[in-house]
Amino acid sequence: MEIVFGFLLFLLLTCLMAFAVWGTLYITLLIIGLALGTIKGILKDRRLSEAFNEGIDDETSDLIALLMSFAVVGISISIGSWTPVEIGMCLGAAIFYLQVWVQTGGTFSFPFRRKKVVSNKDATYALTDLGKPIGEMSQEERRVAAEKVVQTMLGQVKKQEKD
């Protein structure tokens, strides 16, 4: 029984420390982003209210998060012992960086699973004006709108067959 209780206590303390580190890092990133964005806006000769709304770009945010995560992992490694506190610090830093990385557009891409980049050079789009949103249409107006869309699609197909 003591083994199970000890493991659960270890897990609880590790998770609590990871959450504390994640929260601290995230709030710190928000404050740093706000400060850097404001400074960037002021340097662009904007008013303070406009500079305050200026944000930092995704690459900068990702770099700052990576540096902050490395700093926390470095601190936990320099402590020397591996208690739930140090493990939680490393876990919280890793979760924090992965969250920021995904929020800034990071994706997992394996070389054999990469998607082809779609080019919009030759794409032709035909817009059909339905008059008003579909949700506001009656049943009869929806039928008429569907017929308009079908006619547009048929026109596109006939145009493609000619070319």
Tell me the residue range of the domain where 8 lies: 2-107
Please state the pTM of the whole predicted model.
0.58
User: Has residue 116 been placed in a domain?
Assistant: no
pLDDT reported for residue 48? 77
List the structure tokens of 62. 């990702």
Give the DSSP letter of residue 104. Answer: T
The closest alpha carbon to 101, from 34, 29, 16, 31, belongs to 29
User: Has residue 25 been placed in a domain?
Assistant: yes
User: Has residue 119 been placed in a domain?
Assistant: no
Is residue 17's pLDDT more than 70?
Answer: yes
pLDDT reported for residue 47? 80
Q: How confident is the model at residue 70 (pLDDT cuts 50, 70, 90)?
A: very high
CB 61 within 8 A of CB 33: yes
CB 13 within 8 A of CB 88: yes
Do 22 and 93 share a structural domain? Answer: yes
Do 9 and 77 share a structural domain? Answer: yes
Do 54 and 12 share a structural domain? Answer: yes
- C-beta neighbour count of 18 within 10 angstroms: 21
CB 92 within 8 A of CB 21: yes
d(Cα 25, Cα 5) in Å, to the nearest integer?
30
Do 54 and 16 share a structural domain? Answer: yes
Is residue 122's pLDDT more than 80?
Answer: no
